[in-house]
């Protein structure tokens, strides 16, 4: 099903993966979880660890699970836009996105991910804070992307990388 590799063994262009392929951010456990489509984030070295940084708006249902849990996952699905259309436009508060997207959840001891993924990053949350208007030295992104709901920046240490066999 999946085999574990090191983060440094990911051979693909991370910028392309996040911005063009998109990803699902998931958090929670068997008793409750949610996932959402995201296309903003970073991967690199932070505080001596291979790390990711993702952006989540405060009103997203997934943010509730990120706040309650120490772990989250990022998963990638190639060009399967149907998954992202459902998980990016519907709320898990209102519908069963897992069922609608045809996903099969796997609950590891840390956070959920899905059998259909081609690549999964299991991350330990290390930092979560809301962006602040005063922190923007260039106001262009602030004017273009925000009205009143600045994202949270979540930084996670990559603890495990799984690739589909």
Q: How much is the pLDDT for 148? A: 84
Neighbour-count burial of 61, counting CB atoms closer than 10 A to its CB (0-12 exposed, 13-18 middle, 19+ buried): middle
Q: Phi, psi at residue 154, to the nearest 5°?
A: -110, 125
Q: How much is the pLDDT for 61? A: 97
Q: How much is the pLDDT for 108? A: 87
List of the chain residues with pLDDT < 50:
none
| Domains identified in the chain and CATH numbers | 2-164 (2.30.110.10)
Q: How much is the pLDDT for 109? A: 86
């Amino acid at each position: 099903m999946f085999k574990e590799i090191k983060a440094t063994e990911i051979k693909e262009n991370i910028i392309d993966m996040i911005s063009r392929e998109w990803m699902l951010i998931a958090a929670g456990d068997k008793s409750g979880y949610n996932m959402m489509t995201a296309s903003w984030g970073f991967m690199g070295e932070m505080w001596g660890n291979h790390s990711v940084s993702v952006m989540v708006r405060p009103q997203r249902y997934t943010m509730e699970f990120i706040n309650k849990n120490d772990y989250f996952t990022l998963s990638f699905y190639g060009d399967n836009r149907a998954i992202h259309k459902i998980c990016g436009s519907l709320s898990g508060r209102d519908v069963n996105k897992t069922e609608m997207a045809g996903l099969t959840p796997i609950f590891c001891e840390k956070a959920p991910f899905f059998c259909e993924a081609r690549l999964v990053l299991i991350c330990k949350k290390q930092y979560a804070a809301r962006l602040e208007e005063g922190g923007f030295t260039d106001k262009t992104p602030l004017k273009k992307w925000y009205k009143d709901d600045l994202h949270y920046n979540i930084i996670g240490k990559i603890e495990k990388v799984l690739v589909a066999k």
